[in-house]
Structures are given as structure tokens and as C-alpha cells.
């Protein structure tokens, strides 16, 4: 534009304001005439004038923002000034919030240089101050050799907060490695030091969130120091930070190129965020390239990559075949190191190493030449072919026995039915990938190779944007995507999408079968998520809609099966049985066997029978289901694996422990082959195998498997899932077997808390955990609590199961035992007589359980004074034990000890002594720290010796038992007290006999 043109435009523009707005058009016509361009220019300028207010607002703000920034920037160099007891030497750097200076102590008492961080002037807004002070607080918690230490903090003379950090002289880690041409091993050692620092911080609930080379300094001694907790965060509270909470919605500071996807996307951060940071560091240290590939391409590119949850190219590829760094070549990175680094850099936090420790462990394993845990993604995962159905077979311990704790167990199986098979899901996924390829003319953005899951995520986001005007299309796409997400195990997303689909469903078609199908899918997803109540309502609604359509009996059967499954999960077994049987007969009528739907429903019914303790029926049904699945899919299939797990559980329940292990092993092998590292099904199989080990008394093999399963479930199912409660329950049983009663109690409490959070504090499984808690408390010495809990369990079970029930009988045993130990043998006898009578009318009581109940009853009768009855019962109990196929020597020892006690009470001294000696032989000296069984046997033997008037020997045995029990079970434990009271008269007696001896 030239000046002349501008003058013409200006003249018309100015004139336009001289006339009323209504006449403006006419004026423009007149003044511009044929000059259309002039008219357009003026009109555009008039349009701009309307937005003049924006400039009026923006300019003063802009001016003061720049002026303020200028003024702070212009701050005189603080060199020479004095802050606190520090003398500033020079500036080291400045960020947006603070200036960092090198300083030394004024008094010069000892030579100490510090990095002094002083908040900038004008930065003392509440939020900034809060963040600054929080960094100081966080640092105060972190005293670790690999973290720059906080030395001092306070206010400067002009009132600005500062803190002094250990000044680390050294080089940034990349520079250091480069300069010293460090070997691969040495580089990994550096990273392990960072891991140690982070592990420590994580234990203090601090996550760093800004791991990058410039925050890692290596000193000349090769010591690695982690700096800058400026954006660190406290997990799970502890410190209050009101100023920050209110700003939680604001974008969090981050470093592009190093920030984890969840940071970029503003999702919750966790320790996994630091795992990602360490992954970035490793990547750059070993390849010389940034994992993000970003040198400095700004925020948007980074955000896009975060959104696609893209994993970087393999480190070995990034290094290239021609390049080497020190002794690092692509060949050395290929395999384990590639896998380790990429596992740390997974887009989804839950797919990374769960902890820094796990990452460090893999690095150490790599350095030690051992196999690492990280493995390449399976093809199945990348194509999204896995179905997250979470069943967990449960081992439920019943009453523990005093001095024995041979927890009898009721294992319960849970099977599954696949609503939509993996193959179908895969076909839909592929179809959708093609759809999105077509939809995007440029192909996948940036030419990245995205996994099917990533395409799905992008597609789902895009759909919400693009189909906003086409509700019908969005409805059907939401349903399809929701189904796929459900099959991918992302139930949260599945529920949201399916709900969206239903909401968009055209009113007129509310009764079409597509609506019912979507509703059924929603019910399934809600069920998988653990929302049983809403799932049941929606499934019933779907069934009603399906039913009204006629000719849809296979679909109605599916609805019924889901309701059956829900009923089973809620402990409503008989309702579940009716529903599942009906579903199976409908499926058989409308489908041709072998069919996956029939097989699934058979499996489901088997699980129900498992829950009900009808193991024989359950085994038969599982075998039917298994052969149907094998006929359909061959060996390597999830359904086959699941049936194997169930079969293993049933074998375990029918005491075929040795045969259970191979079934579990087969299933685990299949899962490890086709599932990602973390998966609910894999966790289930692991937990079951752990249970088998527990049953085989291979406790040390069981414990790590349980813990692996537990950690996996927490990662994939969250902290409130019923399956987690089951694993906790089983782990509680194991800890009891290991004599860790307090640990056991804790796990039971956690399990109960989950059921309470599910609104089902009285669920049969919750009651089992409660019974375990009672037993653990009893054994740890808290009889009052144990009694209270036992009574609660008994009352709940009576209400649920009536007066003729195996679990009720066990509860009566438990209550009787705790009453006797509390000194109320007469009351104990009443409860236990009831239990005995109840068992007479029940069939299918495992002999071990019956014998255990008898022994407890005999002890109570004896304590209450009826020795005759006691001896009859104990003999019947021992007879029961000895007829068992697998004779449990510990349970036998318990029985002998009980009988010895009874015979002593009956004054059958030689008999009692003989039995006590046998028990002692069966209970050899045990663990120094936890063993108490030998001591208990010793004490009974001691009482026998006393009855035989061998006071010295008796005193020796009782004294030894007492000191061991005092150490292991505590001075105030009921068992210890009992021994002490047996010893007491003996001490008096020996003392008086000594006196007599002296007098004589």
C-alpha cells in the first residue's frame, strides 16, 4: 500500500464516522464509486475499528508485562551482596522465578560454597511463593548422597525467601560422559546412581518430574548428583500447599523433549513419570540422541507426540550401525537394552516399569548378564488383540487351629465368557484403521508408525470433534469404539463411549435391537469395571429390549448369562445358577456346538459351582468347555488358558495339588506369550499358582508370586477391585502360614476395606477375610478383638446361609476356640456342640475340616471338665486324620498335643507323657525368630514331667518354652501366660523343697 492509497482510504474512513451508521452504506457507495478495492479496504478497516477495544485492553497489559520483565531482568548483579550468612560471589543462572548465585559463608569458619537460590523481586505472588517454599520443604526431606543437599534457608534483608544448596562442582552428565568417553558400563552406573536418588525420593513421596541431562551433574570423583526439585511434587499429601491446589488447573511447567506424555497432557503424574525421565536420560546417554527426537521444536509437536503415545525408535536404531559412542555400538544395545529403555519410555504410565527400583533391577540384571524382565511388545498387544476379562480364582481359608493353623481352604473359581471374540475385535480394529487412513489424506500424521491402539485413540478423539453434527454416526461409532476399548481392557473408556452412544441414539430407534445390543455392551463393560449394580440394571433392560424383538434368543441368552455372572459376583449363587442354566439351554437351542458362546456359558456355570463348593460338577463343566474351546481355537488361546486355570483350581480343591501345578504352568505360558507384561488374567494365573505352592507348603515359592500378582492387579485394576481383595485374602492366609500374624491381619483388613468400598461389607468373601482377621488377631494375642470379629462373622453367615451350612459350622468352631482361650470353656462348649451337630447333617465336609473341628471341641470339653467326652472326641478326631490320604504331620502333632493335655487332665500321666514326647518329635526345634510350635510342645511335655514329679526336668522344659514364647509371641500372649502359670507353682515347689532339703 502506498501513501496516496492510504490517504484515500483514510479520507473515506474518517468520513464514515461523520454520518449516522444507517447512512454509512450510502456514503461508501458515493465516495468509492466503481473502486471496489477501495470500498473493501475501508470496510475492512471499519470492521477492524469494531475490534478496537481489544487493542485498548491488550496494549497497556502488554506494555506493563514487558516493562516488568525488563525491570526484573535489569536487576543489578547481586555479586558482593550478603544474603543470610552467605556472601555472594557471582551469578550462576536465572530462571523465571529465581536467581541462582554462587556464595560462600561470611564467617569463613569453614570453606563451604553453596548455590544460593533467591526468589526474584516481584515474583512473590502467593502461588510462586508457595512453589518456592515447597521446593525448600521437599529438599529438606531429601538427604541422600546423590541429591544436592539443602543447607540453609531464610529471608534476605529485603524479605525475599532464599535457600542454600550444596554447590556441586562438576559437569552435566552428557558432557561428562562425552569428555571422559565413558564406557557403557560406566554410563549405566551413573544412571543407577540417579535411580538410587529417585528411589529414595519416591520413598519420601517426592516425585522429581524434571529428569533431564542438565539436572544431573557428575563431580570429578564420578559422583552423580540430582539437582532442581523446582517442579517436584509430593504424592499423597503430607505437606499442605494451598496456593498450588488452587492453581492445579493451570498448565504445569515442563521441559519439552523430556516431559512424559502425562505431563504434556496434564494427566496425573506419578513415580512412573520419573521412570520415563530416566528412560529419556538412558536413551540420550547411550545413543547421543534425544528420545523425543525433539531438539527444539516447541510445544505443539511435543503435545502431538504425547497424544499419540508414540514410543521412540529403538535405541539401537537411533545409534545406527555405523556410529559408536565410546564402546557402545548398535549391536550392544539391541535386545535387552532396547527393551529396557523402551519399557521405561512407554506412552502409558501403567505399561512402564512400575517403580524406579524395577528399572534399576533390570539394569543391574543386564550388567550381571542375567535375563531382564522387559520384553518386546507382542504382536498381539500392538494390534490390540487381547481381551481383558478379569476372573480370579480364590483360595479361601477357613478356621485356623490353635497351635496348628492348618487353614482349611475353599478354593473358588471364576471363569469367563467372552462377549466378543478377539478375532472379531481385530477385524473391526483393522477396518477402523483403514477408515482413518482414508479419512486422513496425509496418512498418519508425521508418517509415524502408530499402533492400532494409538490410531484408535486418535480416531476416538477425532470422532468427537468431527462427528459432532452427526449424532447417528457418532452413536454407532461410539458403540464400535466402546466395544474395542472394552476388548482392550480399557473399561473406563468403554463405559464412557457406550454411554455416549446410547445418549445419541435416535429416540425413534430406542427399541431397535442395536439399542439393546449397545446397552448389553455397556452392562458388560460396567460389570468388567466392577460396577455390578448398574450393570445388572442395564443388562435386565437390554434383555427386555432383546426379548421384545423376538428371534433373538441367543442374545437374550447372553444377557441372562451376564446377569448370572453378576449374581455370582455378588454372592447370590442360587439366582446365578438359575440364570446361567437358562442361558445355556437357550444358547444350545439356538446355536450349533461347538460354539464359543456355549463354551463360555458352560465355563461360567462351572465357576458358579466352584463358588458353591460343588467341585465335581464344576470340573465336568470346565472339561466340556475346554474341549469346545480347543476344538474352536487350538491350544494357544486365551479361553483355553482360562479353562486351564479353572481346572487347576478345581484340582487343587479336590486335593490333587500336584496335578494343579502343570495346568497353571500351561496357562501362564500361554498368557506370557500372548498378553502384555501386565494383565489381569496373568495376575490371576500367578495368584493361583501361588495358592498351589501355599497348599504344597512351598511358602517361599508362593510369596513372591502372590506379590507379583498383587502389584500387577493394583496396576491394571486399581485399588478397589474385588479381584484385588481375593489376592489379599489369599496372601493373608499365606502370611499366617509363615507365622506373620500382623502382616496377615493387615492384608485381611485391606481386603475387607475393598469390599466395604464396593458397598458389600457382608459379601461371603468379605466374611472369609474377616474370619481370617479374627484368626490372625487371636494368634497374635488379641483375644478380645478376635472374639468380637468371630461373633460378627457368625451372625452374618447365619443370616446369609441359615443353620445348616459348612461355613457356619466353621464359624462356630472359631468362636468356641477363642472363648476357651479367653477362659470361657463352658460357653465354648455350647458353640462347638452346635457345630458338631451341624456337621452330622451335612455331607461333603472335607475330613481335615471335620477333624480340626473335633479337636477344638475336645479341648473345650476337657477345659470345661468333661474329660470323658473329651477323650471320645479327640480319639474320633485322630482317627479321622489318620484315615486321610495325605496325612499332615503338623496336624497330627496338634492332635497328639491336644490328646496329651486331655489325658493329663484325666490323670492318665504315662499316656500323656508318651503323646507329648511324640508331639515333640513331630515338632522339632523351629525358626529362631518366628517358631513357637516346638516351645508349645515343650510346655506340654513339661507339665507331664511335673505330673510325674520330675520337677527339675519339668522346670527346665517349661522355662525353655517360656523364654522362647516370650521372645516370639510376646510376654502377654495367651500361650505365654498359660506356660507361665504352669511354671509358677513349680518354682514355688522347687524353692520349698530346696528349703526342706537344707533343713534336713
The binding site for other proteins (CB under 8 A) comprises 1-3, 6, 10, 13-14, 17, 44-52, 54-56, 58-59, 62-76, 95-98, 121-125, 127-128, 131, 158-160, 210, 214, 228, 230-231, 247, 250-251, 253-256, 296, 298-299
Which letter does DSSP use for residue 116 in this model? E
Long-range contacts from 214-218, C-beta under 8 angstroms, 24+ separation: 214/172, 216/172, 216/173, 216/190, 216/281, 217/148, 217/168, 217/170, 217/171, 217/172, 217/173, 218/170, 218/171, 218/172, 218/173, 218/176, 218/177, 218/190
Cβ distance to other proteins smaller for residue 43 or 499 = 43
Cβ distance to other proteins smaller for residue 234 or 398 = 234
124 phi and psi, to 5 degrees?
-90, 40
Q: Would you state the cell numbers that stand for residue 781, as one nine-digit string?
A: 494375642
* Pairing status of strand 206-207 against strand 233-234: antiparallel
Cβ distance to other proteins smaller for residue 122 or 704 = 122
CB of 100 to other proteins, least distance (A): 11
Which letter does DSSP use for residue 540 in this model? H
Cβ distance to other proteins smaller for residue 17 or 431 = 17
Cβ distance to other proteins smaller for residue 291 or 394 = 291
CB of 53 to other proteins, least distance (A): 9
Cβ distance to other proteins smaller for residue 59 or 925 = 59
CB of 158 to other proteins, least distance (A): 5
CB of 370 to other proteins, least distance (A): 38
Whole-angstrom distance, CA of residue 689 vs CA of residue 610:
17
CB of 257 to other proteins, least distance (A): 8
Number of Cβ within a 10 Å radius of residue 383: 17
Cβ distance to other proteins smaller for residue 243 or 335 = 243
Cβ distance to other proteins smaller for residue 85 or 294 = 294
User: Distance from first CA to last CA of the chain, Å, rounded?
Assistant: 136
Residue ranges of the alpha helices (H) in 488-572?
491-504, 513-529, 532-549, 553-569
Cβ distance to other proteins smaller for residue 255 or 313 = 255
Cα angle 586, 592, 598; round to 5: 55
Cβ distance to other proteins smaller for residue 117 or 763 = 117
- Non-local (6+) Cβ contacts of 985 within 8 A are none
448 phi and psi, to 5 degrees?
-80, 150
CB of 109 to other proteins, least distance (A): 31
CB of 250 to other proteins, least distance (A): 5
- Residue 584: strand, helix, or coil: helix
Find the helix or strand (DSSP H, E) in which 832 lies. helix 825-840
CB of 159 to other proteins, least distance (A): 7
Cβ distance to other proteins smaller for residue 63 or 697 = 63
In the block, cell 564420578 appears at 222
In the block, cell 491394571 appears at 716
Number of Cβ within a 10 Å radius of residue 568: 26
Whole-angstrom distance, CA of residue 579 vs CA of residue 104:
79
CB of 253 to other proteins, least distance (A): 5
Contact, 545 vs 511, CB < 8 A?
yes
613 phi and psi, to 5 degrees?
85, 10
CB of 15 to other proteins, least distance (A): 10
CB of 81 to other proteins, least distance (A): 12
Residues in the chain: 1000
CB of 516 to other proteins, least distance (A): 42
Cβ distance to other proteins smaller for residue 155 or 784 = 155
**CA distances in angstroms from 526 to 122, 233, 494, 531, listed in the order given:** 52, 33, 9, 5
CB of 603 to other proteins, least distance (A): 53
Cβ distance to other proteins smaller for residue 250 or 503 = 250
Cβ distance to other proteins smaller for residue 68 or 367 = 68
Find the helix or strand (DSSP H, E) in which 91 lies. strand 86-94
Q: Would you state the cell numbers that stand for residue 421, as one nine-digit string?
A: 471374540
- Non-local (6+) Cβ contacts of 973 within 8 A are 780, 781, 965
Helix/strand number for the chain, H first, E second: 43, 13
CB of 381 to other proteins, least distance (A): 33
Amino acid at each position: 500500500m502506498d501513501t496516496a492509497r492510504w490517504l484515500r482510504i483514510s479520507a473515506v474512513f474518517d468520513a464514515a464516522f461523520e454520518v449516522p451508521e444507517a447512512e454509512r452504506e450510502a456514503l461508501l457507495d458515493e465516495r468509492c464509486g466503481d473502486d471496489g478495492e477501495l470500498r473493501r479496504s475501508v470496510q475492512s478497516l471499519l470492521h477492524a475499528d469494531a475490534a478496537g477495544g481489544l487493542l485498548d485492553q491488550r496494549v497497556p497489559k502488554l506494555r506493563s508485562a514487558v516493562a516488568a520483565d525488563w525491570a526484573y531482568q535489569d536487576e543489578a548483579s547481586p555479586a558482593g551482596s550478603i544474603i543470610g550468612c552467605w556472601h555472594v560471589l557471582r551469578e550462576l543462572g536465572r530462571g523465571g522465578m529465581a536467581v541462582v548465585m554462587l556464595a560462600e559463608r561470611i564467617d569463613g569458619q569453614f570453606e563451604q560454597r553453596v548455590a544460593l537460590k533467591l526468589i526474584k523481586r516481584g515474583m512473590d505472588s502467593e502461588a510462586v511463593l508457595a512453589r518456592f517454599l515447597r521446593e525448600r520443604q521437599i529438599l529438606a526431606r531429601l538427604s541422600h548422597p546423590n541429591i544436592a543437599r539443602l543447607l540453609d534457608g531464610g529471608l534476605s534483608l529485603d524479605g525475599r525467601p532464599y535457600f542454600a544448596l550444596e554447590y556441586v562442582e562438576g559437569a552435566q552428565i552428557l558432557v561428562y560422559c562425552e569428555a571422559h568417553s565413558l564406557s557403557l558400563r560406566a554410563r549405566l552406573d551413573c544412571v543407577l546412581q540417579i535411580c538410587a536418588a529417585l528411589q529414595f525420593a519416591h520413598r519420601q513421596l517426592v516425585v522429581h518430574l524434571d529428569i533431564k541431562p542438565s539436572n544431573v551433574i557428575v563431580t570429578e570423583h564420578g559422583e552423580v548428583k540430582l539437582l532442581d526439585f523446582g517442579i517436584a511434587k509430593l504424592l499423597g499429601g503430607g505437606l499442605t500447599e494451598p496456593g498450588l491446589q488452587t492453581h492445579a488447573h493451570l498448565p504445569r511447567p515442563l521441559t519439552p523433549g523430556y516431559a512424559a506424555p502425562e505431563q504434556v497432557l496434564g494427566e496425573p503424574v506419578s513415580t512412573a513419570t520419573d521412570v520415563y525421565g530416566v528412560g529419556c536420560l538412558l536413551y540420550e546417554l547411550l545413543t547421543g540422541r534425544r528420545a523425543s527426537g525433539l531438539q527444539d521444536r516447541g510445544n505443539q509437536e511435543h503435545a502431538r507426540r504425547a497424544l499419540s503415545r508414540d514410543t521412540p525408535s529403538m535405541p539401537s536404531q537411533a545409534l545406527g550401525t555405523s556410529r559408536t559412542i565410546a564402546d557402545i555400538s548398535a549391536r550392544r544395545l539391541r535386545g535387552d537394552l532396547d527393551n529396557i529403555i523402551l519399557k521405561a519410555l512407554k506412552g502409558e504410565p501403567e505399561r512402564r516399569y512400575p517403580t524406579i527400583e524395577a528399572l534399576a533391577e533390570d539394569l543391574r540384571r543386564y550388567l550381571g548378564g542375567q535375563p531382564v524382565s522387559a520384553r518386546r511388545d507382542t504382536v498381539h498387544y500392538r494390534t490390540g488383540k487381547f481381551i481383558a476379562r478379569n476372573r480370579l480364582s480364590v483360595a479361601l481359608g477357613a478356621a485356623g487351629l490353635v497351635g496348628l493353623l492348618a487353614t482349611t481352604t475353599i478354593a473358588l473359581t471364576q471363569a469367563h465368557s467372552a462377549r466378543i471374540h478377539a478375532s472379531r475385535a481385530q477385524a473391526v480394529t483393522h477396518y477402523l484403521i483403514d477408515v482413518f487412513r482414508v479419512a486422513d489424506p496425509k496418512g498418519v500424521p508425521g508418517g509415524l508408525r502408530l499402533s492400532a491402539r494409538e490410531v484408535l485413540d486418535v480416531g476416538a478423539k477425532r470422532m468427537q470433534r468431527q462427528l459432532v453434527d452427526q449424532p447417528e454416526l457418532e452413536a454407532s461409532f461410539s458403540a464400535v469404539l466402546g466395544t474395542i476399548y472394552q476388548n482392550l481392557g480399557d473399561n473406563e473408556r468403554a463405559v464412557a463411549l457406550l454411554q455416549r452412544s446410547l445418549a445419541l441414539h435416535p429416540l425413534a430407534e430406542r427399541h431397535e435391537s442395536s439399542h439393546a445390543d449397545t446397552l448389553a455392551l455397556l452392562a458388560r463393560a460396567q460389570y468388567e469395571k466392577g460396577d455390578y449394580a448398574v450393570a445388572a440394571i442395564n443388562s435386565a433392560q437390554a434383555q427386555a429390549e432383546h426379548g421384545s424383538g423376538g428371534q433373538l434368543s441367543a442374545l437374550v441368552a447372553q444377557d441372562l448369562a451376564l446377569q448370572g455372572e453378576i449374581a455370582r459376583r455378588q454372592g447370590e449363587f442360587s439366582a446365578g445358577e438359575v440364570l446361567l442354566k437358562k442361558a445355556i439351554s437357550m444358547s444350545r437351542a439356538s446355536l450349533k456346538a461347538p460354539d464359543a458362546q456355549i463354551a463360555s456359558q458352560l465355563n461360567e456355570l462351572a465357576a458358579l459351582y466352584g463358588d458353591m463348593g460343588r467341585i465335581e460338577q464344576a470340573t465336568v463343566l470346565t472339561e466340556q468347555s475346554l474341549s469346545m474351546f480347543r476344538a474352536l481355537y487350538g491350544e494357544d488361546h486365551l479361553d483355553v488358558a482360562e479353562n486351564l486355570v479353572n481346572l487347576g483350581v478345581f484340582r487343587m480343591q479336590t486335593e490333587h495339588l500336584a496335578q494343579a501345578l502343570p495346568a497353571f504352568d500351561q496357562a501362564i505360558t500361554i498368557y506370557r506369550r500372548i498378553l502384555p507384561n501386565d494383565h489381569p488374567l496373568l495376575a490371576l494365573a500367578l495368584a493361583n499358582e501361588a495358592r498351589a505352592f501355599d497348599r504344597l507348603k512351598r511358602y517361599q515359592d508362593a510369596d513372591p508370586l502372590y506379590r507379583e500378582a498383587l502389584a500387577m492387579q493394583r496396576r491394571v485394576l486399581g485399588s478397589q477391585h474385588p479381584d484385588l481383595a481375593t489376592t489379599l485374602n489369599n496372601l493373608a492366609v499365606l502370611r499366617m502360614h509363615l507365622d506373620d500374624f500382623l502382616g496377615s491381619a493387615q492384608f485381611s483388613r485391606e481386603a475387607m476395606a475393598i469390599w466395604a468400598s464396593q458397598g458389600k461389607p457382608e459379601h461371603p468373601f468379605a466374611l472369609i477375610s474377616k474370619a481370617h482377621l479374627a484368626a490372625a488377631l487371636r494368634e497374635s494375642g488379641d483375644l478380645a478383638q478376635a472374639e468380637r470379629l468371630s461373633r460378627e462373622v457368625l451372625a452374618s453367615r447365619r443370616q446369609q446361609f441359615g443353620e445348616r451350612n459348612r461355613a457356619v459350622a466353621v464359624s462356630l468352631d472359631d468362636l468356641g476356640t477363642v472363648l476357651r482361650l479367653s477362659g470361657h470353656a463352658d460357653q465354648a462348649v455350647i458353640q462347638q456342640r452346635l457345630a458338631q451337630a451341624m456337621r452330622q447333617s451335612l455331607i461333603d465336609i472335607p475330613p481335615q475340616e471335620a477333624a480340626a473341628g473335633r479337636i477344638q471341641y475336645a479341648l473345650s470339653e476337657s477345659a470345661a471338665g468333661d474329660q470323658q467326652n473329651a477323650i471320645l472326641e479327640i480319639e474320633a478326631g485322630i482317627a479321622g486324620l489318620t484315615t486321610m490320604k495325605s496325612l499332615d504331620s503338623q496336624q497330627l502333632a496338634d492332635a497328639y498335643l491336644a490328646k496329651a493335655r486331655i489325658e493329663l487332665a484325666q490323670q492318665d500321666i504315662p499316656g500323656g507323657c508318651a503323646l507329648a514326647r511324640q508331639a515333640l518329635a513331630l515338632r522339632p526345634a523351629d525358626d529362631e525368630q518366628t517358631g513357637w510350635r516346638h516351645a508349645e510342645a515343650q510346655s506340654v511335655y513339661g507339665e507331664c514331667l511335673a505330673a510325674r514329679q520330675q520337677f527339675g526336668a519339668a522346670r527346665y522344659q517349661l522355662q525353655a518354652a517360656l523364654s522362647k514364647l516370650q521372645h516370639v509371641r510376646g510376654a502377654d500372649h495367651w500361650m505365654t501366660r498359660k506356660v507361665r502359670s504352669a511354671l509358677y507353682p513349680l518354682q514355688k515347689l522347687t524353692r520349698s523343697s530346696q528349703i526342706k532339703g537344707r533343713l534336713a
